[in-house]
Amino acid sequence: MKTFIVDSMLGKLATWLRLTGHDAMYSTVIHDDEFLRIAIDTGGILLTSDEELYHRGVDAGVDTMLVRGSVDEEVASVFLKYEIEPYADASISRCTKCNGALEHINKEDKERIKGLVMDQTYEHYDEFWLCKYCKSVYFKGGQWTNIDAYMIRIRELMDNF
Instruction: Assign residue 37 the CATH number of its domain.
Output: 3.40.50
Checking if the pLDDT of 147 tops 90, the result is yes
Same domain, 81 and 14: yes
- Among 35, 37, 38, 64, CA closest to 51: 64
Please tell me the predicted confidence (pLDDT) of residue 161: 85
Q: Give the integer Cα–Cα distance in Å for 59 and 56.
A: 5
Q: Give the integer Cα–Cα distance in Å for 38 and 105.
A: 32
pLDDT tier at 142 (50, 70, 90 boundaries)? confident
Same domain, 115 and 75: no
Q: Give the integer Cα–Cα distance in Å for 75 and 6.
A: 12
Could you tell me the residue range of the domain that residue 85 belongs to?
3-90
Please tell me the predicted confidence (pLDDT) of residue 9: 94
Checking if the pLDDT of 36 tops 90, the result is yes
Q: Give the integer Cα–Cα distance in Å for 133 and 97.
A: 10
Same domain, 28 and 62: yes
Same domain, 82 and 7: yes
Is residue 151 in a domain? no
Same domain, 10 and 78: yes
Same domain, 62 and 121: no
- Among 92, 22, 20, CA closest to 6: 22
**Which DSSP state fits 107?**
G
List alpha helices for the chain, DSSP H.
11-19, 32-42, 51-59, 71-81, 119-124, 142-160
Mean pLDDT of the chain: 96
The single-letter code of the amino acid at 74 is E
Please tell me the predicted confidence (pLDDT) of residue 48: 97
pLDDT tier at 4 (50, 70, 90 boundaries)? very high
- Among 114, 140, 145, CA closest to 128: 140
